[in-house]
Amino acid sequence: MFRAILVEKADGGQRAAIAELPESSLPAGDVFLEVERSTLNYKDALALTGRSPVVRKFPMVPGIDGAGVVRDSTHPAWSPGDRVLVNGWGLGEVHWGCLAEAARLSGDWLLALPATFTAAQAMAIGTAGYTAMLSVLQLERHGVTPAQGEVLVTGAAGGVGSVAVAVLAKLGYRVAASTGRPHEADYLRGLGATEVLDRAALAAPGKPMQKERWAGVIDTVGSTTLANACAQTRYRGTVAACGLAGGMDFPATVAPFILRGVTLAGIDSVMAPMELRREAWTRLARDLDPAKLASMTREVGLAEALVVAEEILAGKVRGRVVVDPGR
């Protein structure tokens, strides 16, 4: 038996609760993982609350991230005792995820846990931090360097934003952090932001072309915020779009792209190829200050995760939330 959060259909919607489940209920997979830590991302919060149709098969154990120890494996790459992590691949959507003490997974989805990280640290990063690193890599590949000017990070007090600010600052970029929580200004400066902006400055509809300011942007918000960020990006700058906390729409024009040569780069963390995942985690091990990671992290148990999911969607949680399924 193992403990897990189980999402089931109920009264035309869904219900999430702690359950004791037999190991025989786990879906097919060639690796049995003893989950030491999981985490709560924005997508996990949507899955737990039912605010968005993230869960596509019921019943479902949510949790798009996990880290732990291989107990059994028939996959050639993994042996009992190996320490691994997993991000995405449809976990918590179409395949049971890691908000549980155990998971059965495809070995093709797993990465070796970097030696520099504990399971808790890896899950403090999780999909949010891994997505932030994918975004940084896109800025670099399109030639955005610290010498070219400021980089804007929107939704900066959230999970993706917090890691993005910390990584960019360590790499020498001047970071402008946009947030709707002005009381988190000291927190963001502690992560390395050189300026903290009120998100209201980007939230209202603006002109298709605005004053050039940003050499690069990492946007977690979408909608009007993303449109304004593109309109303010400097000639041949790059905008990495990786979130939709403000909406899925994009009320913009092509003007920044055809008149300033701005690049809009989409970031997909769910199905990213394995070589890109390895690169991102290698860079996180090098470019993310462990002390800053600790400053943005809190840890909860499975039951608390159900409450914290609501707080994440209400914008009340800063940084990252690690889940200990044994609590």
Question: pLDDT tens digits, residue range 196-242?
Answer: 999 999 999 999 999 999 999 999 999 999 999 999 999 999 999 99
Cα distance between residue 67 and residue 319, in whole Å: 19
Nearest to 97 by CA among 127, 132, 120: 127
In a domain, 118, yes or no: no
Amino acid at 249: D
> Does 92 lie in the same domain as 131?
no
- Please give the average per-residue pLDDT across 173-178, as a whole number: 98
User: In this structure, what CATH number is given to the domain that contains residue 106?
Assistant: 3.90.180.10
Can you read off the two tokens belonging to residue 207?
Answer: 């002109």
- Please give the average per-residue pLDDT across 185-190, as a whole number: 97
Nearest to 152 by CA among 222, 224, 213: 213
In a domain, 286, yes or no: no
Cα distance between residue 316 and residue 140, in whole Å: 31
pTM of the model: 0.94
pLDDT exceeds cutoff 90 at 105: yes
The answer to whether the CB of 305 falls within 8 A of the CB of 49 is: no
> Does 170 lie in the same domain as 39?
no
In a domain, 281, yes or no: no
243-295, pLDDT tens digit by residue?
999 999 999 999 999 999 999 999 999 999 999 999 999 999 999 999 999 99
pLDDT exceeds cutoff 90 at 25: yes
User: Range of 68's domain?
Assistant: 2-113+296-324
User: In this structure, what CATH number is given to the domain that contains residue 187?
Assistant: 3.40.50.720
- Region of 254 please: left (phi>0), alpha (psi -120 to 50) or beta: alpha
> Does 146 lie in the same domain as 253?
yes
Domain boundary among 245, 266, 287: 266
CA 299 to chain centre: 16
In a domain, 146, yes or no: yes
**Residue 140: which residues within 8 A CB-CB, separation 6 or more?**
none
In a domain, 241, yes or no: yes
In a domain, 273, yes or no: no
Q: What integer pLDDT is reported at residue 12 of this predicted model?
A: 79
> Does 142 lie in the same domain as 236?
yes
Number of domains in the chain: 2
Q: How many residues does the chain have?
A: 327
**Residue 152: which residues within 8 A CB-CB, separation 6 or more?**
175, 176, 178, 197, 213, 214, 216, 217, 218, 219, 229, 232
Q: What percent of the chain has pLDDT over 90?
A: 97
In this structure, the strands spanning 151-153 and 214-219 are parallel
Can you read off the two tokens belonging to residue 25?
Answer: 């209920």
In a domain, 92, yes or no: yes
Residue 49 φ then ψ, to 5°: -95, -20
**Residue 316: which residues within 8 A CB-CB, separation 6 or more?**
none
pLDDT exceeds cutoff 90 at 7: yes
